[in-house]
């Protein structure tokens, strides 16, 4: 009987910190009202927008455009009741020979469910080049570059956001944890 109580107590003590961690992180991922949602009513992203930038490799021989790297765009949204959604991500196509990427995002499916995109950040996701595999935080490539300034593409009536330039290197960098 004493052994059963001891195991139960150890299991409770073991699971208690896990419960606290899960409870704390759940509120950070938007399972409650967004305190900033009330002043963001006119700051939603449009139905279709694009993100562009350039990715470089910094090696001992210099800096050059990185072909084949992929960038991740992670966004948060608000549902029709003003609650934050869980983060969701979209990957760009691999960069071209000039290190250029263009990712077109459409929020039409989210709009049908009443979700509006309110915040997006761009991260380095992967490098195809073995000689340059480590992401750096130059231009917030690791911690996430927020989408803020844009220009309108008149013919397409679309916002074009620019980020970067982002940089990979041949040596490991100290990274900071991502909030997403």
Q: Where are the domains of the chain?
A: 1-31, 34-169
- What confidence tens digit (pLDDT) does each residue in 111-144 have? 667 788 888 999 999 998 888 999 999 999 999 9
- What confidence tens digit (pLDDT) does each residue in 3-27 have? 443 333 333 333 333 222 222 333 3
CA 97 and chain centroid, separation: 24
CATH ID of 34-169, from 1.10.1130, 1.10.4160, 3.30.70, 2.60.40: 2.60.40
The reported pTM is 0.68
């Amino acid at each position: 009987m004493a052994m059963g109580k001891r195991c139960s107590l150890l299991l409770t003590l073991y699971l208690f910190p896990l419960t606290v961690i899960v409870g704390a992180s759940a509120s950070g991922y938007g399972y409650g009202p967004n305190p900033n949602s009330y002043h963001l009513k006119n700051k939603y992203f449009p139905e279709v927008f694009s993100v562009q930038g350039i990715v470089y490799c910094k090696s001992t021989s210099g800096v050059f455009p990185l072909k084949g790297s992929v960038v991740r765009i992670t966004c948060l949204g608000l549902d029709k009741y003003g609650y934050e959604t869980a983060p969701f991500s979209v990957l760009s196509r691999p960069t071209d020979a000039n290190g250029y990427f263009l990712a077109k995002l459409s929020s039409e499916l989210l709009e049908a469910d009443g979700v509006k995109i309110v915040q997006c950040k761009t991260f380095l996701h992967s490098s195809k080049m073995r000689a340059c595999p480590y992401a750096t935080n130059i231009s917030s490539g690791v911690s996430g570059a927020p989408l803020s300034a844009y220009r309108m593409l008149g013919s397409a009536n679309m916002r074009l956001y620019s980020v970067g330039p982002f940089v990979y290197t041949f040596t490991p960098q100290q990274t900071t944890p991502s909030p997403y």
